[in-house]
Amino acid sequence: MDRAALSDAATAFLACSSPAAWLAAAAQNLATVLIDHANCEMKAASTALGFIYRYPEDRDLATRMSRLAREELRHFEQVQSLLDRRGIAPAYVSASRYAAGLHEAVARSEPERLLDSLLVGAFIEARSCERFEQLAGFVDGELARFYRGLLASEAGHFQVYLALAQSRAPHDYPLAERVAALRSEPDSQLRFHSGPPVQPRGSA
């Protein structure tokens, strides 16, 4: 698949593109977006390792998550280098409400907990893929090339999470309904995965 097809597949899964208001806000706040991006790569690696800790009996899952974690840490290093080249000082940026909201929706008992967690992974990776494609049209050439280079990797992660969920789902797990339930809401803070910015009071 070419880059556009990969992004289209992710967008079809998400069922909605990133809103223009998010893209405009992101382009105006690139330092925040880049610092949050570095954090997201680190968290993506940590999430992948978490699956290995929690489900040690599933060797196939462990192998895939180990590979995925290594790729995410490589991305983390690449974003850190970009921050350094641009003279963007390290700063604390709080975590996005988006991922926390998705994780709250995860079932507490197995096997639904594993399946929901894999779908949350698919959502976050698909959103990354879709956002890189969209953001590339709003940023300078170096950053656009960087985002487009990451896109294929994140699309691959999206497919890994989705395929794992599909292959481990018992026939009575309502996969399509769970995907539909994990859609995002408006956000009051700008982060890499956040939803459309909440409109200030009084604005249209």
Q: Is 184 helix (H, G, I), strand (E, B) or coil?
A: coil
In terms of CB distance, is 135 or 173 closer to Fe ion? 135
In terms of CB distance, is 67 or 168 closer to Fe ion? 67
Is residue 44 within a helix (H) or strand (E), and if so which, with residue range? helix 30-54
Cα 114 to chain centroid distance, Å, stands at: 18
Nearest to 193 by CA among 5, 52, 87, 43: 43
CA-CA distance, 131 to 191, in Å (whole number)? Answer: 11
In terms of CB distance, is 72 or 133 closer to Fe ion? 72
The least distance separating Fe ion from the CB of residue 153, rounded to whole angstroms, comes to: 6
Could you tell me if residue 202 is left (phi over 0), alpha (psi between -120 and 50 degrees) or otherwise beta? Answer: left
The least distance separating Fe ion from the CB of residue 72, rounded to whole angstroms, comes to: 5
Interacting residue ranges for Fe ion, rule: CB under 5 A: 41, 44, 72, 75, 125, 154, 157
The least distance separating Fe ion from the CB of residue 88, rounded to whole angstroms, comes to: 19
The least distance separating Fe ion from the CB of residue 43, rounded to whole angstroms, comes to: 10
In terms of CB distance, is 64 or 75 closer to Fe ion? 75
